[in-house]
Structure 1
Amino acid sequence: MKISIITPSFNSSITIGKAIQSVLAQGYANYEHIIVDGGSTDGTLDILKCYPHLKWVSEPDRGQIHAMNKGFSMATGAIIGYLNTDDYYLEDAFSAVIPHFQKGAEMVMGKVLVRSEKPGGIHEWTCDPKTDFPSVLRHWKANAFCVNPVGYFYLRKVQKKISLKEKNGAKHDLAFLIETAMHFSIKKVDVVLGVFNHAQETQTGREQLMPSYWQPENFVFVDRLAANLSEAEQKQFRLERDRGYQLRRQWTVKEAFDRGMAQKLFDKGEVFMLPEDENECAASRCGFVEHDRVGTKGDWIIPVMTMGKVASKSICHTLKNLSQSVLPAQCYHIHQMNPATIYRNLPGCLPALCHPVVGLSLKSIFNNYNSSPIFKFIAGVRDPIAGGLSGIFEINKATVENIESAIFNVTNYILTHFDIQYKDTMGIDVYKYPFNHKKGYTIIRKSNIEVLVFRFEDLSRIFSPAMEEFFGIPNLKLSKINISSAKHYSCEYENAKQNMRFNREQLEKIYSHEMVKHFYTDEEISRFYNKWLQKRG
């Protein structure tokens, strides 16, 4: 079977000779090597003239993809391969793939040795790509796809069906491979076929050092091809992609900083600083919060912002304990982002608690970078009296007397939480969005804000499916920390739950509130009401 090797070229005199020699070294007679040059002026043409076996043309073109398509139109072989001038085949690459084509393979893919310029020297690694459609579609993962055409060959009919599109620019190879994996079977061989020299000082290399490169809008063909998945698979894929791109942006930022590009990234608005979490704040700093981590456009920021005593610490602890590769986003445990309430409550919180200051920092990021990160809030609701009692014992040494005097202040805080912290602060009126009582949680989406609202009473049942729907992470188990029944005041707390009761007027005021009626059914409200109602003696 005849192989056509196509090499696009422009001013490649330093490297093109090694590429040509790597083809000659294959020792395979039935081949042609086509060079499509864009009008080089650096001596490349003199090198081409030294190899009479080459089929070549030199004239101005529209760039690499135009040259590749021009070469394809000149090719006469049954098997097509592309070799860039910076790269080269390893010995016996042809002999590793030809037998598979003779047995009916449509495309054969092997491994690629990648040599990448890094600060301090050359870094080498082997790309061992996947070949199935779902894996190639997840192109942000290491070894998800073949990083360079030096690692694959295919029959003419493949490119006849799936053309190389100039509109995809430097991502044309990824678009081609994803679509090929969707329509054709790919034979994988456990052989390193060639060497890809990845230079950062190219236009593509410079683009890839910007975090903004890893944004969905730069890979529109991926969405088009992902539409072939089922609706459920598409939702899962997009969540995986958001997390994958965020991890890629973090790697990109680190590499750019290592290259001394920090100032450039800040000047271009590519990055901004995020605060540390309240658990990392030292009480001795009197509420001073370090801004010591970097965020970029498109990043998830996860504030677990609740009214309190709805397992928010447990949720945050669970998410923060996930590896960076699973959840690369910053997660914060806070109760407020409204500056008015933060400033009012700040004196009573310092120096021991820093989460009000973290909340203030997040509000500043929300104001200054509103369209940049994606805020994924987690909010819980609970029977107001049950939550109020638990909160009183958490904050104070409770007695019957101070419970009776404090309970209605606490329940008022609970009942107004969504209006003050979400509606007034972020413009999210949760009561305008229907709540799924049977499901036990609802996800609200508005622009770059998402809010997962759950009922505490359902948490053990719904935690795993809610986290999978919200983050795309399956089978999460909730850590259990900060449990009232396990604390030093547990006996007094249990006694209060068993014995504290309220009159009808007090209960009517609480259980007729919009918050309660929105998140609970009439039957559920009736059960709460009867549980706390004073019985006539």
Structure 2
Amino acid sequence: MQALDRVIRDAYPQTRYIPEHLIAGEFLRPRVPRGPRPCKWPVITLVRDPIARNVSSFFQDLTTRHTHLDYAALLAEDDVEGNARRLIDTFLIRHDHQRPLKWFDMELKRVFDIDIFAEPFDKEKGFTIYGNDRCRVLLIKLEALDRCAAPAFQQFLNTNAFKLPNENVSAQKDYGRLYDAVRKSIHFPDDFIDRMYTSRLVQHLYTDDEIAGFRRRWRLPV
């Protein structure tokens, strides 16, 4: 959170933009109790194929973490394939590819003392609920969200009235064409793919078949 805060502050003179989730985080930070009798917080979080997550995150961060790029020009130019190649080069060199692999230790464990790796995750069901005296955590695999959201929220919130809205869709944003072009043309060498998919995060949360599918999706064409 502190690292993100620095990035947003550094970029603000140029972007004049503060993400809503950062504002919410700053509001909640002093309210997360650390005393001997804390409130039990409900926390809902997702996990996603880390490479797919990084590509999506890269586009969301274009105006804050990659201010050296002329974002308006990228959107205005008709050379979608050329701009996609420029973005791929920037992504490969500048993006923090390890961030999703460390997130649960850096954020969830540090703040709430919940270690998702200390307990089994139901890979087939697609979600698991964790808890201690400080919080309850619902962890859902994004890839399984459509089929498991209803039972997950019924169990976590004890409600049958849950409906899953379709929000924050990258293809529908102003960079949708560029995002689609990058997703279709970006691939990675085997050693990079091995590092991502032999990670503790992926091995703990995904089935062998799911991991094999991720590998096929991102492997360099033969």
Q: Same fold (TM over 0.5)?
A: yes
Structure 1 405/343 Cα, relative in aligned 2: closer, same or farther at 3 Å?
same
Flag the 1:454–1:370 CA change in 2: closer, same or farther, 3 A.
farther
What whole-Å deviation, never above 9, does each CA across 1:76-120 have from its counterpart, x for those lacking one? xxxxxxxxxxxxxxxxxxxxxxxxxxxxxxxxxxxxxxxxxxxxx
Deviation digits for residues 318-363 of structure 1 (CA, Å, limit 9, x no counterpart): xxxxxxxxxxxxxxxxxx4xxx435433414655325324323323
Q: Distance in 2 between matches of 1:513 and 1:416?
A: 10
What is aligned with 2:88?
403
Please point out which of 416, 433, 438 is paired with 2:119: 433
Q: Work out whether residues 197 and 203 of structure 2, in 8 Å CA contact, stay in contact via their aligned partners in 1.
A: yes
- Which of 132, 137, 158 is the matching residue for 1:472? 158
Indicate whether 1:377 and 2:43 are aligned: yes
1:388–1:407: 8 Å Cα contact kept in structure 2? Answer: no
- Alpha-carbon distance, 1:405 to partner: 3.2
Q: Helix, strand or coil: the match of 2:32?
A: helix
Q: 2:76: which partner in 1?
A: none
Question: What percent identity do the matched residue pairs reach?
Answer: 26
TM-score, normalising length: structure 1 = 0.35
Query: Which of 21, 25, 44 is 1:355 aligned to?
Result: 21
Task: Report SS of the residue matched to 1:452.
Answer: strand
Higher relative contact order (CA 8 A, sep 6+): 2
Q: Please report the RMSD computed on the Cα atoms of aligned residues, expressed in angstroms.
A: 2.2
Contact map agreement 2:112 2:134 (CA 8 A) in 1: no
2:59–2:179: 8 Å Cα contact kept in structure 1? yes
| 1:496 paired residue number | 182
* Runs of 5+ unmatched residues, structure 1: 1-335
Q: In structure 2, what is the equivalent of residue 195 of structure 1?
A: none
For residues 51-200 of structure 1, the aligned pairs below 5 Å read none
Contact 1:389–1:407 (CA<8 Å) still a contact in 2?
no
Paired amino acid for 2:110? D
CA contact (8 A) 2:130 2:137 kept: yes
Q: Which blocks of at least 5 consecutive residues in structure 2 are unaligned?
A: 63-70, 72-82
Q: 1:419 maps to which residue?
A: 105
- Structure with the bigger percentage of helix: 2
| Aligned length in residues | 198
> What residue number does 2:53 align with?
387
**Superposed CA offset, 1:6-47 (max 9, x none):** xxxxxxxxxxxxxxxxxxxxxxxxxxxxxxxxxxxxxxxxxx
* Equivalent position amino acid for 2:191 in 1: E
Going by fraction, where is strand more abundant, 1 or 2?
A: 1
SS at 2:120 equivalent? coil
Structure 2: distance between partners of 1:413 and 1:349: 20
TM superposition shift of 1:432? 0.9
One-letter amino acid of the structure 2 residue matched with residue 472 of structure 1: N
Q: Cα distance 1:509–1:341, how it changes in 2: closer, same or farther (>3 A)?
A: same
Question: Does the Cα contact within 8 Å between 1:375 and 1:450 map onto a contact in 2?
Answer: yes
Amino acid at match of 1:371: R
The corresponding residue for 2:167 is 481
CA 1:469 to 1:508, structure 2 compared with 1: closer, same or farther past 3 Å? same
- CA shift, 1:503, in A, is 0.5
CA–CA distance in structure 2, aligned partners of residues 360 and 402 of structure 1? 31
What's the CA shift string for 1:292-327, capped at 9, x where partnerless? xxxxxxxxxxxxxxxxxxxxxxxxxxxxxxxxxxxx
Q: From the superposition, tell whether residues 365 and 437 of structure 1 become closer, same or farther in structure 2 (CA, over 3 Å).
A: same
1:466 and 1:370, CA in 2 relative to 1: closer, same or farther beyond 3 A?
farther
C-alpha spacing 1:360/1:349, structure 2 compared with 1 (3 Å): farther
Structure 1 residue 394 displacement after superposition? 2.4
Cα displacement (A) at 1:407: 4.5
Q: 1:529 aligns with which of 209, 215, 219?
A: 215
Give the secondary structure class of the aligned counterpart of 1:411.
Answer: coil
Deviation at 1:416, TM superposition (A): 1.1
3-state SS of paired residue (1:434) = coil
Q: Which has the larger radius of gyration?
A: 1
5 Å-filtered alignment, 1:325-344, equals: 336=1, 340-344=2-6
Contact 2:38–2:133 (CA<8 Å) still a contact in 1? no
Q: TM-score, structure 2 length as denominator?
A: 0.80
> Structure 1 CA distance, aligned partners of 2:108 and 2:22?
15
